[in-house]
Every structure is written in C-alpha cells, then in structure tokens.
Amino acid sequence: MQAFVSRSVVTPEGIRPASILVAGERIHAVVSPDQIPGGSHVHDFGDVAILPGLVASHVHLNEPGRTEWEGFETATRAAAAGGYTTLVDMPLNCLPATTTVAALQAKRAAAQGKCRVDWAAWGGVVNDNEHDIEALAAAGVHGFKCFLINPGIDGFTMVTEQQLRSALPHVARTGLPLLVHAELPGPIDHATASLANPDWSRYSTYLASRPDEAELGAIRLMLSLCREYGFRVHIVHLSTSHALPELRTARAEGLAVTVETCPHYLHLSAETIPDGATLNKCAPPIRSRENREKLWQGLKDKTLDLVVTDHSPCPPAMKRLAEGNFRTAWGGIASLSVALPLMWTEASQRGFTLLDLAQWMSAGPARLAGCDERKGRIAAGCDADFVVFDSDREFVVTEDKLHYRHSISPYLGETLRGVVKATYLRGRLVFAEGEFPGEPSGRELSANQSDGSPP
C-alpha cells in the first residue's frame, strides 16, 4: 500500500487534509492523515496540493503521419510535465485521419511503447464516412469530432449540413458525443471579402476576418440538429461570449449540450497581441478583453463545462514568424505543459479555487470522454492519477519547461503561478522536478465499464 498525504487534497467533496491510500494502480480509500495503515509507503507533500491527474480531452498528437509536428512520445512527456495523466486525441492532423477502423488500428500500433500517460481516441465524422461511424464506436473511440468549416489541413474534410444529416442518425445510435468545431464558412468568407486593403501582419485584420457570427451561426445550427436527432453535442473551444445566453437557454431546455473553452481564450486578449505575433493564432480567434471576462463569467455560472488545451503544435516554420503573416500561419497553440499554471494564474485572481480547476480540467473532460468511472477524481476505485501542485510558487516559462517536440509558445518569458512538482500515473511517478523516471507506462483507455477489469 502507498499513502499520498497532503494538507490540501482536492477531492470532489472539497479540499481537505487527507491521505490517499493506493493499492496497485487504484485508489483504495481516502482517509484522514492519521489513519494510514502500518507498513504503508508514505509520500508526505505537506502543504503542497494533490489534485486529480488532469484529463486533456482535446489534443492533437499528430501520430501517425505528422511526427515532425508532434508525436505520442513528446506530447505525453509534455502532458506528464503539465500534470495531465489522460489525453484524448483528435482524429485529424494525423495521417491517416481517424475516420475508419483501420486508421484507429494504425494509431494504436503507432502508440505502442511510447506513452508516458494514458490516452484514448476520438473518431472523425467527415463528408463520406457515415458507414464507418458505428464500427468506430464498436472498435473503441470515445466519441466523434466534425468540422463545419474547412479545417485547413489535408486528410480531413468538413461536413455540410446535408452531410451531417446523413451522419447524425449513426452518431445518435452510438450514444457517444459529437464534438463540433463550430464556425460556419459563410460569415468568415463575407467578413474576409469586406476587408479593405487587409494588412495580414496585423492581429486586428485576422480577428475581423473571423467574426463572432461565424461561431454563433454554427452553434445555432448544432442546437437545432441536437433537438431534431437527439444526439449529445459538445461545442469545442468556444471563443465568443455572445453564444453564452443561447447555450444557457438550451441547457435549461434540457438539450444534451456541453461546452469547452481553452486557457488561451481565458488568459490572452486581442488588445495585447502584438502585430506579427502569429504564435497567438488559433481558430476561432482570441477576442477582446471584455469577451474574455464574459467567458470567465460563463465558467462561474457553469454554462461552460470544461477547460481543455486544444494542444495543436506545428513545426516553427509553419508559424511564419519571420513574415508575421496571420493569414498563412498555422492556427494552433501548444500548451500541455503550462495549461495548469496558466489557469491557476488567472483563476486565483478571480476568486476560484483548486476545486474549480479540478472540475474544469479533470472531472469535466473525463465525463465528456466517458472515462469518469476511472479518471478525473480522487475517490475510491479510481485510478491513482495525481498531480502534486505547489500553488504558491511562481516560475518563468522557458523553453526547457515545454517538453513537446518544438519549444515555441506565446507564453515564453511570462511569470506564472503554480508549479507542477510531480505527476503520478496509476500509482507510478511519471514526472518529478523536470525528469521523467521509468519506461513509458501509459496505455490506451477503455470507455466506462467496457474493459471487464474489477473495480
């Protein structure tokens, strides 16, 4: 038996002094610190907090096929350094895209022996694979992802409303969620065409080319399809706060809709992004400071369910840093290793607690990915996945702390609050003080109740 002890253990019921007793890979019980059985191997972290291992339900690992961008080895290393113990990989940016069972098997083969944390896969819904959807569910994907706009990458197509209508009865039958990149091309094409003499080195040009209406229209479409087909819809990376009232209403109506946003929308704002600073490019775009504060309000009133990285790395050349062109630069921000301190820096200033972070970054994503019986909570029966987090210490983001394939980041040089001291995966230390001890022990995660192993 191992005992993980802290005066600040973040459990679903609250933050309290506790000892987490671990037998093998699972949490046996959470007891008071004076109830540790004799002979236990005790790890006492004192005042430093223990949170449940974080669950990144929105990441792009890019393997197989684009390992010059990222890969299982580097992404899971960055994840362990950031306190993440579970990643759910998006079906695009890898080649082949995860839109068939054969592609899922290729991904499994590519992951063998490389992962420092656990992982699972989302399947893709594209313009011609409606007959693969139920087979993908049977083969073990945790849900599906689609794009209502061109994703800007070869190997994965967007879906029109008509194509989506062919796919939705299949999605609904699986009972799994459909994650949607909610931007429509119409308002973006219109806004881009209306730009007079656009200067693409200016952030304001890029922002004007991707208006709130593109997100709003897509979300309205998805809510009406959700009503019609009765599937679970999940809006990924919400950027516009203008959608919050309608999402609130849909929730009140009882629609099965969940929503995520990302650390970059909660930390950065359009007013402070310098012209040419394409490391800040993502889609939908980072909007105004006022918009950012409304997103925080959306977290507070629980219209937003979870916060995910949308870790989407690329080789540095694709960010077009030399010319600083927001039109041609790759849209994506990598943040697995710093998302927790980024969030804590912002959340602690607004009166939120580590319990809120655990809800947004562990329990919420685990529920979305259907692995909440094992992941995302410090509770008996769950996997012994922990992040040991010194919430008072500050550090400066430097390249050596990023750990993913290409150490580029819009956050370099920033001072952030909270340091990940150690990460444990199923009772084993996988990260501590900049090091990754042991062989990669991460494995693919089955959905709730389907792996047959004892609780």
The upper half-sphere exposure of residue 116, i.e. CA atoms within 13 Å in the direction of its Cβ, equals 26
Residue 98: which residues within 8 A CB-CB, separation 6 or more? Answer: 89, 91, 92, 104, 107, 121, 122, 123, 124, 136, 141
Give the nearer residue to Zn ion in terms of CB position, either 276 or 284: 284
Our finding on whether 310 is near Zn ion (CB under 5 A) is yes
Dist CA 24 CA 393 (whole Å): 31
Give the nearer residue to Zn ion in terms of CB position, either 236 or 363: 236
Q: How far is the CB of 352 from Zn ion (least distance, A)?
A: 24
Q: How far is the CB of 312 from Zn ion (least distance, A)?
A: 5
Contacts with Zn ion by CB under 5 A: the residue count is: 1
78, 405 contact by CB (below 8 A): no
* 256 alpha carbon, distance to own chain's centre: 20
227, 246 contact by CB (below 8 A): no
Q: Choose the binding region for Zn ion from 19-27, 303-311, 422-430, 435-443 (rule: CB under 5 A).
A: 303-311
Q: How far is the CB of 283 from Zn ion (least distance, A)?
A: 9
- Supply the DSSP symbol for 398: -
Q: Choose the binding region for Zn ion from 49-57, 156-164, 306-314, 401-409 (rule: CB under 5 A).
A: 306-314
- Supply the DSSP symbol for 286: P
Q: How far is the CB of 258 from Zn ion (least distance, A)?
A: 16
Give the nearer residue to Zn ion in terms of CB position, either 43 or 210: 210
Give the nearer residue to Zn ion in terms of CB position, either 305 or 310: 310
Give the nearer residue to Zn ion in terms of CB position, either 130 or 310: 310
Environment class of 284 (CB within 10 Å of its CB; exposed 0-12, middle 13-18, buried 19+)? buried
Residue nearest Zn ion (C-beta atom)? 310
Alpha-helical segments (H) within 285-423: 289-300, 339-349, 354-358, 364-368
Our finding on whether 73 is near Zn ion (CB under 5 A) is no
Q: Choose the binding region for Zn ion from 42-50, 79-87, 310-318, 397-405 (rule: CB under 5 A).
A: 310-318
Give the nearer residue to Zn ion in terms of CB position, either 26 or 281: 281
Q: How far is the CB of 90 from Zn ion (least distance, A)?
A: 5
Dist CA 184 CA 167 (whole Å): 18
Residue 398: which residues within 8 A CB-CB, separation 6 or more? Answer: 412, 413
Give the nearer residue to Zn ion in terms of CB position, either 260 or 356: 260
Q: How far is the CB of 95 from Zn ion (least distance, A)?
A: 16
Please give the residue ranges that form the binding site for Zn ion (CB under 5 A): 310
